[in-house]
Amino acid sequence: MTKPKRIKRPISGWLIFDKPYDLASTEAVGKLRWLYSAAKAGHAGTLDPLATGILPIAFGQATKTVPMIQDGTKTYHFTVRWGSATTTDDIEGEVIATSPVRPEAPALTALLSRFTGTILQTPPPFSAIRVDGQRAYDLARAGETVVLAPREITIDSLRLIAHSGEESRFEAICQKGTYVRALARDLAEALGTKGHVTALRRTAVGPFHEADAVGLEAIEALDEAGRDALLRPIAEALGELPEIRLSPEQMTAIGHGNPVLLTGARAPVNLGEAWASFKGEACALGRVEAGHFHPSRLLSGG
């Protein structure tokens, strides 16, 4: 007997997912989309399969706000093992170089300021960056030599949390495009040794923090209502943008894709990107020009 087709639900919102070890980001999205029977889902900011921590999952209309989360500040905790470099800059790769040098804590601490602010970083060959239309990691796995150009990244803060002879643990607060594996590699080179990442956990992405993250087993243990209760409003992804509050009449016009005149003594005349809300819920992304809010993307519905 043929199984009845599962009905996809038009749900919208953000799930602050605590990704487990050895699960790819795309696999996580597929599994959670199935658990929620969601019509649409995506993630904001890929995590390596060997990394754990916050992988924000967007459902429905929240997928339209993914760029806001991807561009947000990220916090990582990571462990570097000194004395060996690998093909992937983490424990998944093969050892390609070794060194007897083990850095001391004072030397490490003194070095960190060189790796904060806006710096140049060469991404690792095993990365999702496209080279002539192909992912760098696909080329690297095929045995091709991958040379990626250095690019500017911004590391807001880098601090040493713990140190032993063989390993050190760090916290990095950084912006989009930073590769922690490359950071570990470069720290080791600057210290005259080799190194690779043995553990990596993302503890914050934009407005989403580790304390609010939910693991896969906890989600699987809930019924549909319990899972839905975990979803955060779309508006949480828009906190850094100005909010335009709409009246019922304005909401009707916005729903048809029409601009609306903003009234009142504090009504903005010109703004860059902004978002509109109705009764506390996000309903559109857009901009303000000459006192009018012009919607670019509607956020209502599933």
Q: Annotated active-site positions, please?
A: 48
Greatest Cα pair distance, the chain, in angstroms, is: 71
Element containing residue 25 per DSSP (H, E): helix 25-36
- 202 and 74 Cβ atoms separated by less than 8 Å: yes
Q: How many CA atoms lie less than 13 Å away from 254 in the CB half-sphere? A: 31
Which residues in 259-272 are b (16+ Cβ under 10 Å) and which e?
Answer: bbebeeeeeeeeee
Phi, psi (5° rounding) for residue 98?
-135, 165
Residues 6+ apart with CB under 8 A from 187: 80, 108, 111, 115, 195
- C-alpha 65/C-alpha 60 separation (Å) is 10
Residues 6+ apart with CB under 8 A from 246: 254, 260, 276, 277, 278, 283, 293
- C-alpha 299/C-alpha 12 separation (Å) is 9
Report the first-to-last Cα separation within the chain, whole angstroms: 31
Using the structure block, give the residue that is written with the tokens 């210290």: 191
Q: Which two tokens stand for residue 207?
A: 């407005």
DSSP per-residue codes, 192-257: TS-EEEEEEEEEEETTEEGGG-EEHHHHHTS-HHHHHHTPBPGGGGGTTSPEEEPPHHHHHHHHTT
- Alpha helices for 48-172 (secondary structure H): 66-70, 105-111, 136-141
